[in-house]
Chain A
Amino acid sequence: MIRGIEFYVDMIFVTAKAWILALLGRFLPDWIVVLASITISGVVILCLGPLIMMYLTLLERKLIGRIQNRYGPNRVGKWGLLQPIADGIKMFTKEDIVPANADKIVHLLAPIAIVVPALMIFLVVPFGERMTAVNLNIGLLYFIAVSSITILPIFMGSWASRNKYSLLGGMRTAAQMISYEIPMTLAVVPAIMMSQSLSTNAIVLAQVGDYDLHWFIFTPWGIVGFIIFFLCATAECNRPPFDLPEAESELVAGFHTEYSGMKFALFYMAEYMNAFTLCGIAATLFLGGWQGPLLPSWLWFFGKTFVLICVMIWFRGTFPRFRVDHLMGFAWKFLLPLTLINILLTALWQFTSNLTAWLWSILILGISLWTLVKLNRTFVPEKRHYPLES
């Protein structure tokens, strides 16, 4: 079977790995080859995670700068491309300060523990065709489970610092992450229902269609699910406008107030890697993952993910921070009912998917949205009058 050049470009990483393994297999025992296979994927992910984080910080600073009519970093290297490396050197050489009353061991463990789940999520992200590190058949469940651990290290850091701001940040994190995990999980359900699988790869394959435009986002439940998932993802990785846990103006820096140097960098790294993986999962679930015409699959995946990340940065450049009660109300009173309605809608879509179904879904969504907005009217207390008594 003759294949075009684009196939080989597409498979370049997969082929490279196969070649290396075949080369090793010639003069090494089998078990080393198996180990090498795991090691190659592991090393690639371990390098990719920090690399992505480093350049995300640069991208963010550049974009935010442009939004605020500034240049952003442009001194270290061409277009500031070496800025992340300079930052890294700075972080490495900084003094590591541990508060005198801190719980030393937990204080040390927290930044280490927070990077682990962030890196573990990379395992199930399909970077391209046949480029999922571990093709788990419970991929999505794994993603949800691992991302739920992220709360623990934040708790550890905030508690071990013995700082009231840290502790407040930790409490806020817990409240926020628990609240937003629920609509996020429920927003994923429609995609699982339609692809009838929990495997990330299978979900991408379920979106293959004519002209590659069978993406879930082109259905009414897909749009709603995508928007809810994306908002919850923004909240899950504590990015503005949901950055109450690390609100600089109120809590200094929330749970990482007492961290400096490389420990702080690890917290930062976990946050950016979470942002990347969450965007990647959002692209996988609703935007058709790695598939797309002409370009190689991995380029499509990274393109979609980076568009989503840019939207996250755009959010940061635009919105002020939520108020705590608004934040909780938004998750519980608005997103949660909407996701439940969305699941129902998906079930309807399963039976009929044509123009009438479109109209029906828009009608149902419109009515439910209108009702929810009406029910969620912000409580504005009546203006009190204090009549002057004579």
Chain B
Amino acid sequence: MPILELAAKFGTYAVMAAILIFAVGVVTFRNLFHCALCLAAALIGTAVIYVVLQAEYLAAIQVLLYVGAVVTLVIFAIMLTEHLAGKTVRQNNSQSPLAIAGLLGFVALLTGLILKTPWPVTETALKAKVSVMGLGQTLMGAYVFPFEVISIILIAALIGTVVIAKKDDPEDLPR
């Protein structure tokens, strides 16, 4: 099915282009809310790329964590700021040209590295498809210790939030 493959290829490139456009939007839009929406769109686009690369699990997690949680948090934070309606924020300052120069250098470095790496396509690499079940078993087997450490960190964070959010004892409050 060469036509379908071609279509998929072009679709992928289109999605990549869209991601880039949205990414540029994130750093150029003057309205914070528009930036956040562009970020969400770029992240969803990344998830689509994951799907094309047959990493559905990663795609779902990407959407769930980044779009569902992180962007929502960002938007929530924006909504609580005073720059809500109409006000715009300049996203560049006098040091922008310097930053762009540095960035271009970094991009050149990365491109060079990518081109230099041979990217060996071997039989085992092609066959290694991580299933969700395998992932779960690895997390609960070989990597159970880091997994548990992460959960302890999460619980610590939760408890910390509760402590911060807790009302002060009315006895201690200054009258």
Q: What is A's interface to B at a CB cutoff of 8 Å?
A: 30-31, 34-35, 101, 103, 106, 136-138, 141-142, 144-146, 148-149, 151-152, 155-156, 159, 162, 167, 170-171, 174, 178, 181, 196-198
Contacts and interface: CB of A to CB of B under 8 A. Distances in A.
Interface residues of B, number: 29
Interface in B37-63: 37, 40, 44, 56-57, 60-61, 63
Given A148-B68, A152-B72, A155-B72, A137 B131 contact: yes
Contacts of A145: 60-61, 63-64, 67-68
18 contacts: A101-B85, A103-B31, A106-B37, A138-B56, A141-B61, A142-B60, A145-B63, A145-B64, A145-B67, A145-B68, A152-B67, A152-B75, A155-B79, A156-B37, A159-B84, A167-B84, A178-B72, A197-B133
A31 B64 contact: no
A149 B37 contact: no
Nearest to A174: B76
Contact of A148 (B64, B79, B133): B64
Nearest to B73: A178
B49 to A, nearest CB: 15
A137 B132 contact: yes
A198 B132 contact: yes
B69 interface: yes
The dominant DSSP class at the A interface is helix
B19 interface: no
Nearest to A167: B79
Given A31-B3, A101-B85, A144-B64, 8 more contacts: A106-B37, A137-B132, A152-B75, A159-B79, A167-B84, A171-B79, A178-B69, A198-B132
A178 B44 CA distance: 19
Contacts of A197: 133
A281 B69 CA distance: 22
B70 to A, nearest CB: 11
Contacts of A103: 31, 33
Contacts of B1: 30-31, 34
Contacts of B60: 138, 141-142, 144-145
B114 interface: no
Interface in B117-170: 131-133
A117 to B, nearest CB: 10
B67 A148 contact: yes
A159 B4 contact: no
**Residue among A141, A171, A178, A181 having the largest count of chain B Cβ atoms under 10 Å:** A141
A151 B56 contact: no
A101 B86 CA distance: 9
Can you list the 3 inter-chain pairs with the closest CB atoms, starting with the nearest? A148-B68, A145-B64, A145-B63
B75 A141 contact: no
B34 interface: yes
Contact of B4 (A31, A155, A156, A162): A31
A138 B132 contact: yes
B137 to A, nearest CB: 11
B35 interface: no
Contacts of B3: 31
B63 A35 contact: no
B71 interface: yes
B157 to A, nearest CB: 14
A322 B44 CA distance: 33
